[in-house]
Copies of this chain bind each other. A is one copy, B any other.
Amino acid sequence: MTTTTANTTPLDVAAVRADFPILSRTVRDGKPLVYLDSGATSQRPLPVLDAERRFLETSNAAVHRGAHQLAEEATDAYEGARAKIADFVGATPGELVFTKNATEAINLVAYAMSNAATAGDDAKRFVVGPGDEIVVTEMEHHANLVPWQQLCQRTGAVLRWFPVTAEGRLDLSGIDELITERTKVVAFAHQSNVLGTVNPVGTLVRKAREVGALVLLDACQSVPHFAVNFRELDVDFAVFSGHKMLAPSGIGVLYGRRELLEAMPPFLTGGSMIELVRMEGSTFAPPPQKFEAGVPMTSQAVGLGAAVDYLNAIGMDRVAAHEHRLAERALNGLKEIPGVRIIGPPDTVDRGATVAFVVDGVHPHDAGQVLDSLGIAVRVGHHCAWPLHRSCGIPATVRATFYLYNELSEVDELVNGVREAQRFFGVA
């Protein structure tokens, strides 16, 4: 994660905001919208909206299926987007599978592994069963936890996990007991969607390599926010979602090392992913097609390609530097309020612009409601990371997440809003 600001001119946030029509709307009786929920889903800039619309008004057709001009143009647009997105994360197009969201991408790997049991010799290396273990962490989003619980339920493998320290870091002290010869997969978030913690990918990858386990990186909260290169990180699989990085909903990405995607059995089956189909049985296309059954999310891929162009034009280092400033200001501002407790690392070292907190005496729902009445959109609840909240001994938090279009002044509004909530509930 690059957080040095030395060589980058600061982001012109006002110019960026002009690209996002929704940011100029008002909510709750005329309050300007302060959107601090990009960790759940981001907003879309005009170039992304326009790219998708242009595609639909000029070149829309089923891809990889037709021989007419529209089908050619659509296929080019779809595959062109794939190449661009692959490049954005240090992958080749053949290593990039489109899914509907990151959740599907993780399920794809988990199901391919249970399918491996009946998929012949090539798939053997993916088989898991009794005696095998899958390792996750206690800070995972449900999307990177429940599919592995279910894989274990289907196969008899056992799920194990890294605990989290009081400061919101992974507790790696038991790494040698957790990641062992029995470990088949190590799956973890690059950046926590609650704590903001950026996890030590290198350490976990090295250990996994030692024991021959596969590594799956949940990059949902990293790829949108700083420059990420899967090849350099040396992970086997990685996933992220378009809607969290200025792109349409309905599209996610699975990255897989080529040789793994080649050997791995398919997941969803149907049209476009086959080689030969007979009533008696079928064979399958090479990756990535093997994992893309049915008519795909064509215009959404085009939109994600446009989002990548947009982010590249700004520069991910600049995005990261801006978010660094936002996170710093939020942490400092909130820490000054008596009765507010940050859930996650207290400083910005290896930490993104996701700030979760609790307010003594004010339930997160109530705090969120007061903020909402001021036009400030945050998320309250467990943010699909219920076990993490349990391990912190709290049912829920308030979470503010920032992105390239947020102003420093919006951080101040958040801080003032929290004070207002305290006043309202008589705890300050």
**8 Å CB contact of A378 from B68, B100, B297, B390:** B68
Residues of B within 8 A of A71 (CB): 37, 40, 377
- Identify the closest chain B residue to A146 (Cβ): B269
The one of B67, B103, B243, B295 in contact with A365, judged by C-beta atoms closer than 8 angstroms, is B67
- Given A143-B270, A294-B101, does the pair A67, B22 have CB atoms closer than 8 Å? no
Contact A277 B386 (CB under 8 A): yes
Q: Does A125 contact B (CB under 8 A)?
A: no
- A203 interface residue, CB < 8 Å from B? no
Binds B, one of A50-58, A255-263, A316-324: A50-58
B-chain residues with CB within 8 Å of residue A390 when the two chains form the complex? 278
A299 to B: closest C-beta gap in Å: 6
CA A250 to CA B52, docked complex, whole Å:
13
Residues of B within 8 A of A252 (CB): 294
Known: A107-B269, A277-B146. A70 touches B294 (CB 8 A): no
A376 — which chain B residues lie within 8 A by C-beta?
68
Number of copies: 2
Q: Does A227 contact B (CB under 8 A)?
A: no
A22 touches B241 (CB 8 A): no
The chain B residue sitting closest to A138, CB to CB, is B279
Q: A35 at the A/B interface (Cβ < 8 Å)?
A: yes
A27 to B70, CA, bound (A): 8
Task: Give CA–CA (A324, B279) in the complex, Å.
Answer: 32
Q: Which residues from chain B contact A37 at a C-beta distance below 8 Å?
A: 61-62, 66, 68, 70-71
Interface check A298, CB cutoff 8 A: yes
In the complex the two chains form, is A377's CB within 8 Å of B68's CB? yes
Closest chain B residue, CB of each to CB of A372: B68
Which positions 80-139 of chain A face chain B at CB distance < 8 Å?
99-104, 106-107, 111, 115, 117-119, 138
- A297 and B149 contact, CB distance less than 8 A: no
Interface residues of A in 259-273 (CB under 8 A from B): 266-272
- Cβ contact within 8 Å between B101 and A295: yes
Q: Does A41 sit at the interface, judged by CB under 8 A?
A: yes
Query: Is A368's beta carbon under 8 Å from chain B?
Result: yes
Given contacts A49-B57, A62-B37, A161-B279, contact A270 B142 (CB under 8 A): yes
Q: What is the distance, in angstroms, from A39's C-beta to the closest C-beta of chain B?
A: 9
Contact with B along A63-81 (1 / 0, CB 8 A): 0011111110000000000
A76 to chain B, nearest CB (A): 14
Quote the shortest CB–CB distance from A102 to chain B (angstroms).
7
Q: Does A409 have its Cβ within 8 Å of any Cβ on chain B?
A: no
In the assembled complex, which residues on chain B have CB atoms less than 8 Å from the CB atom of A144? 270
Q: Quick check: A69 and B372 within 8 Å, CB to CB?
A: yes
- A340 interface residue, CB < 8 Å from B? no
Known: A57-B21, A241-B295, A295-B241. A145 touches B279 (CB 8 A): yes
Q: Is A369 an interface residue (CB 8 A)?
A: yes
Q: How far is the CB of A110 from chain B (nearest CB, A)?
A: 9
B294 & A102 in contact (Cβ 8 Å cutoff): yes
Question: Smallest CB–CB gap between A42 and chain B, Å?
Answer: 9
Could you say which residues of chain B place their CB within 8 Å of the CB of A381? 65, 67
Query: Can you spell out 9 A-B residue pairs with CB atoms less than 8 angstroms apart?
Result: A27-B69, A40-B62, A67-B365, A67-B381, A68-B372, A100-B250, A104-B268, A145-B279, A146-B293
